[in-house]
Amino acid sequence: MSSVQATGERLDSRAGAREAGQARLRSPFLPVLLMGLALLAWMVFQTVALMQERLGLQRTLVAQQPQVAQSMRLRTALSDLASDTQKLSDAGDPGAQLIVNRLRQHGITIRPDAAPAGSN
């Protein structure tokens, strides 16, 4: 054997021994710790994002309350008007009968004894 070849074999055997020693010394602690921290960070991020979204939805709900109340009042007023128009039509008023017939043509049925929509 030549000295270059012998030196190369010794270096190869030292490198192999060093790699084998490092493989034996590596612990799964650091990768598992990093995965756990990444999972924890992801969960915290998701929790904060969901809390912000919930707060935004609650603000939207509160902001819509006046419009909802106003629409319920309007709906009740229109229901009362339609009920009174139906009663006039039943009593023989020709204008009211025309209105009720036109509403029926458009698929709108008036129930004079029905409870207002917002009274539930």
Q: Is residue 58 one of the residues assigned to a domain? A: yes
- Give 52-111 pLDDT, tens digit per residue: 999 999 999 999 999 999 999 999 999 999 999 999 999 999 999 999 999 999 998 887
Q: Which residue range is the domain that position 108 belongs to?
A: 3-114
Cβ count within 10 A of residue 99: 17
Q: pTM score, two decimals?
A: 0.53
Q: Is residue 45 one of the residues assigned to a domain? A: yes
Q: Is residue 57 one of the residues assigned to a domain? A: yes
Q: Is residue 120 one of the residues assigned to a domain? A: no
- How many domains in the chain? 1
Q: Is residue 52 one of the residues assigned to a domain? A: yes
- Give 13-65 pLDDT, tens digit per residue: 666 656 655 556 789 999 999 999 999 999 999 999 999 999 999 999 999 99
CB-based contacts of 35, cutoff 8 Å, min separation 6:
none
Q: Is residue 119 one of the residues assigned to a domain? A: no
